[in-house]
Structure 1
């Protein structure tokens, strides 16, 4: 009797605890597992915090895990594509006074497109896997993208661009776990990285967001005014600020919040009374939509998140010609052009897009 061939999974390993435990769980489930360490693009001279992905230290940590698990690990240089699709677009969006989400773009163009294609061709993989906290469920002939069990770590917001072709080749081993459980598993397996801190910064930006942008943008200082037009300070360039921002404005007597950006007059508009300001919006328009399991019938009601850590809010989604309009039951604070809006029905990601 022929022995059944194991399904091959290529897992993206970053040197962190999540991808390490994900690899271990896949082995336990009987898969043929291979690790891949992706090398992105980073500018010279930028100061980075600890635990940066793609560093030599992170690769060595990923290799140590792979060696202990008895699996191979390969380096995959995606720097050229990462620079063009993620970094350059990040800079151009800020130049246009938008607030992009590079993690969403990285998942769309690098991890679940380029990495997926390379894994299927170079390694003859059946699936790819990552350490994301999310779930995939097949219902009939469709694949659904669901929130991860851990409400605090759920990363489904960043994954709304996955389509059916990607989802049929994707495994999220951590979807049914919470972070404390993952650290406990890592410690039980004597992984040296079991207590390694999560990376908090955008991987290529470094410790100072404004310093990074200052390298690439032509910044023009100007006036900071309140909502009545009274000058109360100076800004360092409109591209360094976003609607809803509180930190880094540099004004006394606060806290102050950015409520508007006037590109024509080079004015940064702020308030110290956000509850009575223009910082709240009852509706928004979005584009660059992706519907995970196919476009729904319009109009429809659901919940939506306008940023990663925001609370899902009830809304109505309407389509007029090719334009998508979203009306909220409760006005939303600090709606920022360039950020992603993600639509949910209970735990399922319906789709999402970019706020105009």
Structure 2
């Protein structure tokens, strides 16, 4: 089988290509180029990030391809990435929400635009593979492919992949789903892979997010729950739910204050106590049921409201065809508009939605 592997210059995607080649497949590498020179070059080069200048990554990808003895292609995905990921990122912050760009990048760029661009460039392949820590199974009783958690619970990346549809799941392979990160590193050392010790990417962008947002400073009030003005801000996009440090408030409060709400239309940031951060429910829109038929009745599931969040027991209540209400068994802290609520049943990712 001929398999296209998305290479990033890191150890995970490189070992993915290695494992598939060891299994006897014909492997072709592809790196998506997404860096737009209109974004200022980040000064903090000590942190490896997904979005940033690509010269070193391209050089590394070529080294990996030469080491593995596979062909590699650098594919221009910049315009699509800018339109889908960057514009959504900017629009969400402008509306007082905190987006997760990795969700949109995976669903529409990495698993959509990249393989599509490869085919447009005459690259033929049977399956597409990446170095994500996740698994895909076929459920015979449902006649559906299902996205499942990886062996490595810490590295599991299904939270970012919940928007993959049936077509994408049917055409995708995740070779690392049955490995831990430690096992992957050991394989890399054993074969003397050039990037065996390369650190993982730590963030979406290692510079100041204002480099991407490029919004003019718009000052407004910081208020408490009763509307009392406690201070001023220079842009609501500099705040997210749960933020405590750097609020710019003078003393006078007996306990720490946190951002508990962002009112975009009023250009107001609302602060309160830690207790105010807890909520028993949320409304989410742009629902994607990737691994099961669309439920018509409430269902029980475990729900993650951010990547590092411990899944919490909840009841998911459908609202029309594009929204859902999530009612938690116990109140959850810092539910943030713009982030994703992802629904799990045992190891299966049922689906997810964007918190509204």
Do the two structures share a fold, i.e. TM-score over 0.5? yes
What is the CA distance between 1:189 and its match in structure 2?
Answer: 1.4
Shift of 1:266: 3.1
Tell me what 1:312 maps to: 311
Q: Map of 1:44-193 to 2, 5 A cutoff?
A: 44-47=39-42, 48-49=44-45, 50-53=47-50, 55-120=54-119, 122-140=122-140, 141-193=143-195
Name the counterpart of 2:25. Answer: 31
Provide the rounded CA distance (Å) in 1 between the counterparts of 2:267 and 2:49: 35
Which residue is equivalent to 1:347?
A: 347
Distance change (3 Å), C-alpha of 1:149 and 1:247: farther
Q: Could you tell me which of 231, 236, 242 is aligned with 1:233?
A: 231
Query: Do the aligned partners of 1:201 and 1:207 also contact (CA within 8 Å) in 2?
Result: no
What is the aligned counterpart of 1:290 among 288, 291, 308? 288
Return 5+ residue gaps in structure 1 as ranges: 1-6
Q: CA RMSD in A?
A: 1.9
Structure 1 pair 243/61, CA: closer, same or farther in 2 (3 Å)? same
Distance of 2:267 and 2:118 partners within structure 1: 47
Q: TM-score, normalised by structure 1?
A: 0.90
> 1:313, CA displacement in angstroms?
0.6
Structure 1: distance between partners of 2:268 and 2:31? 44
* 1:184-239 deviations in Å (ceiling 9; x for gaps): 11111112211111111214xx42124432x2x23312232333444433222112
CA deviation after TM superposition for structure 1 residue 300, in Å:
0.7
Q: CA deviation at 1:267?
A: 2.7
The residue matched to 1:11 in structure 2 has which SS? strand
Distance (whole Å) between structure 1 residues aligned to residue 76 and residue 171 of structure 2? 21
Count of residues in correspondence between the two structures? 343
Secondary structure of residue in 2 paired with 1:151:
coil
Shift of 1:12: 0.6
Judge conservation of contact 1:300–1:317 (CA < 8 Å) in 2.
yes
Alignment partner, residue 244 of structure 2: 246
Report the secondary structure of 1:124's partner residue: coil
**CA-CA distance at 1:262 after TM superposition:** 3.1
Gaps of 5+ in 2: none
Call closer, same or farther: CA 1:165–1:354 in 2, change over 3 Å. same
Q: TM-score, normalising length from structure 2? A: 0.90
